[in-house]
Amino acid sequence: MLNHFRLVPSSTSWQTLSRLAATAAAAPSFLWLTTTSCAAKQPFGHLPAVPVPVRTQIRALSLSHTVTNLQRNSAGPCIKQRYNRPLLALNTPHPQKPHNPISRRTCVSMSAQYIDRDVLPDIIKPTNYDLSLYDIELGGAFQYSGTVTIKASVIKSTREVVLNANELVISAAEFRIGSKVIDSSSFTYDKPRQRATITFPEDIPVTEDALLAIKFGGTINHSMAGFYRSKYKPPVTPAASVPKDGDSHVMFSTQFESCDARRAFPCFDEPNLKATFDFEIEIPDDQVALSNMPEKSTRSSKPGTKIVSFDTTPIMSTYLLAWAVGDFEYIEDFTKRKYKGKPLPVRVYTTRGLKEQAQYALDHAPQVIDYFSEIFDIDYPLPKSDLLAVHEFTHGAMENWGLVTYRTTAVLFDEKTSDAKYKNRIAYVVAHELAHQWFGNLVTMDWWNELWLNEGFATWVGWHATDKIHPDWNVWPQFIAEGMQTAFTLDSLRSSHPIEVPVKDALDVDQIFDSISYLKGSSVIRMLAAHLGQDVFLKGVSNYLKAHAFSNATTNDLWSALSEASEQDIHALMEPWIRKIGFPVVTVAEEPGQIGVKQNRYLGTGDAKPEDDDTTWWVPLGLQGKAGVKEVASIALTKKADTIRDTNDSFYKLNVDTTGFYRTNYPPSRLATLGKQIDRLSLSDKIGLVGDAGALSVSGDASTTGLLSLTEGFSAETDFLVWSQVLSSLGTIKSCFSENEEISNGLKKFILKLIGPTVDKLGWKASPTDDILTTQLRAQMIMSAGMNGHSDVIAEAQRRFELYFSGKDQSAVDPNLRAAIYGIAIRYGGLSEFNFLKKEWETTSSVDGKEITLRALGRIQTPELFKAYINFAFTNVATQDAHIAAMALSVNSKTRHGLWAYIQENFDPLLKKLSDNMVIWDRFIRLSLNRFSDEKMGNEIAVFFADKDVRGYDRALAIIGDTIRGRAAYKARDEKIILEWLQANSYA
């Protein structure tokens, strides 16, 4: 799964980690009550269930309520598969590797740091699910009925079966062992743990050939989790049966990672309880159903409906099962490589009227599949690969095996109206999700504590494939500027967490889908790959995938494969990087002809204590400038301090190409020298140098004046990615001191002088020869110039805005400059500009239009416009985009405090609106409150949340607290120094 938002940290004390199902308790649920007995040839009876809101029915019951003898009939068993389809042929062979899960009771690592897992009882092991969904309501409550028949082994004799179920009601169940049928006697629900217990009147014997059949009911929710519905406004008339929700039409799809398969059907919802899946669904005749596998058959059902069945999946985890129903159309291409003797079909599905915008993604997907099949030496395992654009989506995309789902902006691109920067995003996201078809799907982490095996690898190899397809994009410098720097930001705080993190319960896992699992994970993989060499590294990876195909694996399994391929002890090298929090700063001391290096844990708050600094990392120093060595010297720091002799005093550079995940702190004189030698540095080294200088300034390990002097040397820079890092580092200073008008104005003058030559050189008019990086650089320079007060740029942006919205010249706003022009117009405009752009948000047909306009609208400067924006943002804007509004207001010094006041005054309705999906709520809180630089504000936030139930976003609050403390300390320490430097250089 791709969490596409750059800043996704959330952490708190891991010893107190606990998240119960507060979400489930708050979300809409229904208890389905039926009283009919079984009827001939009808599963579980034939009368319709009556939906009754759970909150209404359950008030008098305990959290674990019991339904006894529900839908039982003394005449005998009443479970038959829907439409008289056989339950399952017990002798049906499944060619996949048999599942041999690692012990589920404790973590594989014997390290005492890992806590016992709260997992399902080790009594039943599923091998196949036969799932049928039917009687789907196309409106109203959007309820549905289902039956699932689970082929399983019974490991221990039992009368109780415990499995996962959330917001579902089980109405009947039975065990079938050979010819014997045992009907259930009662059901109990443990809502906080999202479990159901099915009790039987006699013992279920130990067997390898049991069938557990369950009838259940559920709701197609609007929470972007489980089986859910997405609203959209179709550009063309949809099929007649497409349901409406308010004034929007809807499509149906699933999102099961990490633990929401249980929200769609009863199952054993843990990653190492792999099984195969057979799936069928009843849908309207004029709609399309998709799932992981190709369609097997279609047959008629009730008038106007059909039943679509799909081929059996490979053995896989429950979170990878997927289906979708809607008014879909597709475009198709094929791989050049042959799979089982023929090219693989690759399709991108959209709702009707949008398929042409899927071409860019389709251009990439077949190439990526072929490339991964080649470098992993394992063919893509499924008979098809579908990509689906989903209109409402929590994350960026989800790697469901054979049916990858995407947020529309991560898969659709309109050559006429889209911003070119989205090409970069789509290429990477497509590669990331297809990488998961091997990393995560073919081989799955044993438990959520090793999530990084899925996400860290998919991130690294996603960038790797993008670099292969687009070598002119400078992909790895982009990774350093965006990926590594984001990981550094979170991991520099005490409230970060190790890459491999204890997860007691699957319900805890959503908070670790963050920049540690994704970006630190991929950064240390990149570091290791650089050390071993790409060929050796990929050989080890291939061996790992082959050894654990169709099964589960651990970090130790990966290290073993890489150790065998490289003949090195990878476990010893990588153990601290994976299982310890934080990363080092390497501090350099110079003497003639040699340098001293020492490593200490880096903390962005600048207050590391001895107990914080108890880790010694393996640090590959990557030294350029060792006497007598033309290439990079392969030297590693394996103790706290060491001396490197025979260095070149005139020029040396550590961590060449910024492959190591650490900061480098040079003496001030060396930093100044490197600033004059930037022509000798690669793009990656420039980005790393500026990023390190900026972070070390904030922590107090170096001086902000050193950073300012360093960046003065970049005025002639021409690369977009280097400028991104320069402006990001300077932007951090601006943000911390945004409420000090003298410093703020001085920094604006400094930035305008710095970027002025590039602004003048690029101008406003695009050239046919511009590449994607030049296009992005022009937009970046115009935006930065406008926001820092460049009068000519402001005037031109306002002129173009007026021409466009007056209808005089629709070409006045280049799609690639929309964000800059809109943002500048709102920043220096008033109510008329706001209303124009709000109308644009409402009517835009561009797939990226709503994101761009929503961010631009957040540039408002007055209390009146703030009120208009916030009422609009949290009333009209889709829940999936709430974080965009939050971020826009929090980075704006004029609205930051107003947003905090709004959250306090409207906390309960905001919580109700956004917390049906805790990922949304966590992201909203984190991005709303992480920009303050005043310890008083940090204390105020802590006091406000002290009496709140913060399960599910407690880590976000811990990160917010740490971040504010660090920024406040920086502000207190360097405020005077920065002002003096600005004054001395005539900027203030």
In a domain, 162, yes or no: yes
714-727 pLDDT, tens digit each:
999 999 999 999 99
pLDDT at position 71: 33
Residues 510 and 427 in one domain: no
Is residue 728 in a domain? Answer: no
In a shared domain, residues 507 and 563: yes
The last residue of one of the domains, among 283, 299, 326, is 326
State residue 27 phi and psi, 5-degree precision: -85, 155
What is the spatial distance between Cα 25 and Cα 28, in angstroms, rounded to a whole number?
8
Distance CA 361, CA 404 (A): 12
Is residue 336 in a domain? yes
**For residue range 723-769, what is the model confidence (pLDDT) as tens digits?**
999 999 999 999 999 999 999 999 999 999 999 999 999 999 999 99
Tokens 């998709």, residue located: 290
Q: Which residues contact 526 (CB under 8 A, 6 or more apart)?
A: 460, 476, 479, 659
Euclidean distance between CA atoms 444 and 381, whole angstroms: 14
> d(Cα 430, Cα 366) in Å, to the nearest integer?
10
Whether 36 maps to a domain, the answer reads yes
First to last CA, the chain: 47
Last residue of one domain, picked from the residues 395, 415, 437: 437
Q: Is residue 425 included in any domain, yes or no? A: yes
Q: Which residues pair with 623 in a beta bridge?
A: 633
884 contacts: CB under 8 Å, gap ≥ 6:
851, 854, 855, 877
* Cβ count within 10 A of residue 771: 13
**Which residues does 440 contact at the CB level (< 8 Å), separation at least 6?**
320, 399, 453, 454, 455, 457, 458
Residue corresponding to tokens 């009911």:
217
Statement to judge: residues 391 and 515 lie in one domain: no
Query: 272: closest CA among 315, 209, 237?
Result: 315
| 181 and 32 housed in the same domain | yes
Q: Do 450 and 506 belong to one domain? A: yes
Choosing from 383, 402, 437, the residue where a domain stops is 437
Binding site residue list? 432, 436, 455
Are 942 and 961 contacting, i.e. CB atoms less than 8 angstroms apart? yes
- Between the alpha carbon of residue 150 and those of residues 99, 210, 267, the distances in Å are 15, 8, 8
Map residue 766 onto helix, strand or coil: coil
270 lies in a domain? yes
- Enter the tokens of residue 68: 């006894």
Same domain, 122 and 103: yes
- Structural domains of the chain, count: 3
On whether both 303 and 158 belong to a single domain, the answer is: yes
* HEC string for 222-279: CCCCEEEEEEECCCCCCCCCCCEECCEEEEEEEECCCCCHHHCCCECCCCCCCEEEEE
The answer to whether residue 402 sits within a structural domain is yes
Question: Bridge partners of 343?
Answer: 338
Neighbours of 943 (CB within 10 A): 9
**Rounded to 5, what percent of the chain is helix, strand, coil?**
40, 20, 40
**Single-letter amino acid code for the residue at 632:** V
Nearest to 66, CA basis, from 149, 169, 166: 169
Instruction: Check which CATH number belongs to the domain holding 68 and give it.
Output: 2.60.40.1730
Interatomic CA distance for residues 187 and 200, integer angstroms? 9
The pLDDT assigned to 116 comes to 76
- Number of Cβ atoms within 10 Å of the Cβ of 255: 28
Is the same domain home to 304 and 418?
A: no
Expressed as residue numbers, the domain containing 54 is 28-220+256-326
Under-70 pLDDT residues of the chain: 3-115
- Tell me which residue of 15, 19, 13 sits closest to 950, measured CA to CA: 19
Cα separation of 289 and 809, whole Å? 43
| 413 lies in the same domain as 481 | no
Please pick, among 433, 717, 796, 840, the residue that the annotation labels catalytic. Answer: 433
Q: Are residues 62 and 102 in the same domain?
A: yes
| pTM for this entry | 0.89
pLDDT of residue 3: 64
> DSSP per residue over 296-352, as a string?
EEEEE-STTEEEEEEPPPPSB-GGG--EEEESEEEEEEEEEEEETTEEEEEEEEEET
Instruction: Establish how many alpha carbons lie within 13 A of residue 521's alpha carbon, considering only the half-sphere containing its beta carbon.
Output: 27
pLDDT in tens, 498-530: 999 888 887 778 888 899 999 999 999 999 999
Beta strands at 276-284 and 124-134: parallel, antiparallel or unpaired:
parallel
The Cα 144–Cα 142 span in angstroms is: 7
In a domain, 859, yes or no: no
Q: Give the CB-side neighbour count of residue 109, counting CA atoms within 13 A.
A: 21
**Do 443 and 553 contact (CB within 8 A), yes or no?**
yes
Q: Which residue in the block uniquely carries the two structure tokens 């550590």?
A: 654
CATH at residue 427: 1.10.390.10
Looking at residue 607, what is its pLDDT? 92
Single out the residue of 124, 97, 317, 277 nearest to residue 207, CA to CA.
Answer: 124
pLDDT of residue 504: 85
Q: Are 152 and 210 in contact (CB under 8 A)?
A: yes
* Dist CA 988 CA 980 (whole Å): 8
Instruction: Answer for the pair 302, 323: CB distance below 8 angstroms, yes or no.
Output: no
Same-domain pairing of 563 and 503: yes
- Say if residue 60 is in the same domain as residue 169: yes
Residue 433 among the catalytic residues: yes
Cα(698)–Cα(704) distance, integer angstroms: 7
